Amino acid sequence: MLYAIFCYDSEDIVGAWTKEQDDAAIAKLGVVKQKLAQAGRLGPTVRLMPTTTATTVRKGREPIVLDGPFAETKEQLLGFYIVDCASLEQAIETAKDLGRASSSLGSYEIRPLRLFHPGSLAT
Amino acid sequence: MNEVASLDAALVGARPQAMGALLRHFRDLDTAEEAFQEACLRALQSWPAKGPPRDPAAWLIFVGKNATLDRLRRSQKQQPLPADDALSDLDDAEARMATQLDDVHYRDDILRLLFICCHPDLPATQQIALALRIVSGLSVAEIARAFLVSEAAMEQRITRAKHRVADADVPFEPPDAAARATRLSAVATVIYLLFNEGYSATGGTAHVRAPLCDEAIRLARLLLRLFPGEPEIMGLTALLLFQHSRTPARLDTDGAIVLLEDQDRRLWKRDLISEGLALLDKAMRHRQPGPFQVQAAIAALHGRAARPEDTDWNEIDTLYATLERLQPSPVVTLNRAVAVSKVRGAEAALAMIEPLARQLSGYFYFFGLRGALLQKLGRDEEARNAFDRAIALANTPAEAAHIRMQLDRLAKS
């Protein structure tokens, strides 16, 4: 079974780390990642840019584009895509395309990636 | 990361929200600061054993408020209350209630805190010092070091600023839309000044002042999280990220200035540039151009160019023309002239800056650029005069050294 593990943390605190503290935290995680990779168990890993870079598209007949991250608590995270886009505009269009293809309401939060490692899972 | 460092990050991260709420409760900067200090002391006693709470800001607000109320009550009645026991039993449920109450005010609390520090009645140097002390929590010694003044002088500057804002009487009611916009714009300007304070550092002072840039970026991101739909705050944050991305390449190993076109672009911090581009992309969608967005767009064109010769000077010229309309100033025209010299040549650029001579007669960069343009046109004698003036007006030894290098080149040609 494949599992996704999402990281939640306080942006106030992580944002207050010095570069040294950030590097140290990443290095510690790197050790765990390396073990997983050696065992052939590590898929894509991602570090997102800060929530200030987020844009949210609310699905609907006329989709609404909002600045900022997804903020509702009535809905749950059900999945995600990683898409190569030339611009935010293209990313928004892509989200709208996805929205047109699904009949439910709900939202897409668009966040640029800061880091992307494809991983080495056999699929 | 060791435990102390992680506690420290939690306290620093929670500071603006906690200080903002405590200021709303006590309506006095000194009392709010004492309350926050008291809460931090108790956090340092309690957190290492129990682990930090889920919501550090709510904890600090709750503890700071109670401890201070008890202290005030005690000093009034001379009656000791069993405050410490009650407080050490503080559980998450109480803190949660306190947050729910405070969350409503969260945004305006922080904005008010920032705005009080950035109050238009204060001179810029006091605004920056007060913001660093109150919002960022830097010690007076740290701020004094960054400004290259004595601790006593900085202490005095901050005290004076506090008195001034106490007299200025900033209203504590939630602001209406217009007042909020005014506060936001005043705060954005001071964050920009704070960044420049760190960015203009050179040579021997660069290492003590660079943290000011990090702090300015942290505050800009904070502001943008509070006001996620403000294109000018996106522009401001993007601008600071672009500028800061070049920091590793701006000075050589001797601390001498390296001009943009001579910088080793491999040293630029790519992750900051990407974040800036993402923010600028967001801002552009609003189609409400403002000075920060236009400056960010100019910086982005430099950030995008892999080599100096790839720079889109035509577009930079156009953007500066827009900036001249939005925010007319001789300095903007002077900057535009650099782009004009690339697009239409030194002659055109020189014609553009000549009318500025009187307004910029005390401005280092004016004579630096004038000299460089005259030199390109082969008017060596006039170029030498301009460079001499520039040296006399240099703000730092590195600036003077840079012009001297130009003079040496002139002498050799």
Residue B279: list chain A partners with CB under 8 A: 52-53
What are the CA-CA distances from residue B275 to residues A68, B222, B264, B402 (Å)?
14, 15, 20, 32
Question: pLDDT tens across B129-147, in order?
Answer: 999 999 988 889 888 887 8
**Subunit contact B285:A11, Cβ cutoff 8 A:** no
Q: What single letter denotes the amino acid at residue A118? A: P
**Any residues with CB less than 8 A from the CB of B51 and at least 6 apart, and which?**
none
User: For chains A and B, what is the number of CB pairs under 8 angstroms?
Assistant: 77
Residue A49: list chain B partners with CB under 8 A: 274-275, 278
Q: Which residue has the tokens 């005290």?
A: B159
Tokens linked to B217: 């970026």
- How would you classify the pairing of strands A64-67 and A113-117? unpaired
Nearest CA to B339 among B327, B349, B330?
Answer: B349
Mean pLDDT is lowest, of B37-41, B179-183, B231-235, for B179-183
Q: Which of residues 281-310 of B touch A (CB under 8 A)?
A: 281-282, 285
Q: Which residue has the tokens 């129990």?
A: B50
Between CA B301 and CA B92 the distance in angstroms is 49
Distance (Å) from the C-alpha of residue B376 to the closest C-alpha of chain A? 39
Question: pLDDT tens across B156-171, in order?
Answer: 999 999 998 888 877 7
**Subunit contact B274:A14, Cβ cutoff 8 A:** no
**Subunit contact A112:B218, Cβ cutoff 8 A:** no
Interface ipTM? 0.90
A66 touching B (Cβ < 8 Å): yes
Q: Which of residues 24-63 of B touch A (CB under 8 A)?
A: 56-57
Q: Which of residues 168-227 of B touch A (CB under 8 A)?
A: 214, 218, 221-222, 224-225
Question: pLDDT tens across A80-123, in order?
Answer: 999 999 999 999 999 999 999 987 889 999 999 999 999 888 66
Q: What single letter denotes the amino acid at residue B195? A: F
pLDDT(A12) > 90: no
Residue B282: list chain A partners with CB under 8 A: 53, 55, 67, 88
Task: Return the H-helix or E-strand segment holding A90.
Answer: helix A88-101
**Subunit contact B57:A12, Cβ cutoff 8 A:** yes
Tokens linked to B153: 């002088």
**Subunit contact B274:A112, Cβ cutoff 8 A:** yes
pTM of the predicted structure, to 2 decimals: 0.88
Radius of gyration, CA atoms only, chain A: 17
Between CA B242 and CA B257 the distance in angstroms is 18
CB of B310 within 8 A of CB of B276? no
Between CA B379 and CA B129 the distance in angstroms is 45
Q: Where do runs of H (alpha helix) occur along B169-246?
A: 177-199, 206-226, 231-245
- Burial class of residue B166 in the structure, from the number of CB atoms within 10 Å of its CB (0-12 exposed, 13-18 middle, 19+ buried): middle
**Subunit contact A15:B218, Cβ cutoff 8 A:** yes
Task: Tell me the pLDDT band of B88, cut-offs 50, 70 and 90.
Answer: very low
SS3 A4: coil
**Residue B356 DSSP one-character state:** G
> What pLDDT score does B89 carry?
47
Mean pLDDT is lowest, of A58-72, B281-295, B300-314, for A58-72
What proportions of chain A, in percent to the nearest 5, are helix, strand and coil?
Answer: 35, 15, 50
Between CA B110 and CA B97 the distance in angstroms is 19
Residue A12: list chain B partners with CB under 8 A: 13-14, 17, 57, 222
**Subunit contact B1:A53, Cβ cutoff 8 A:** no
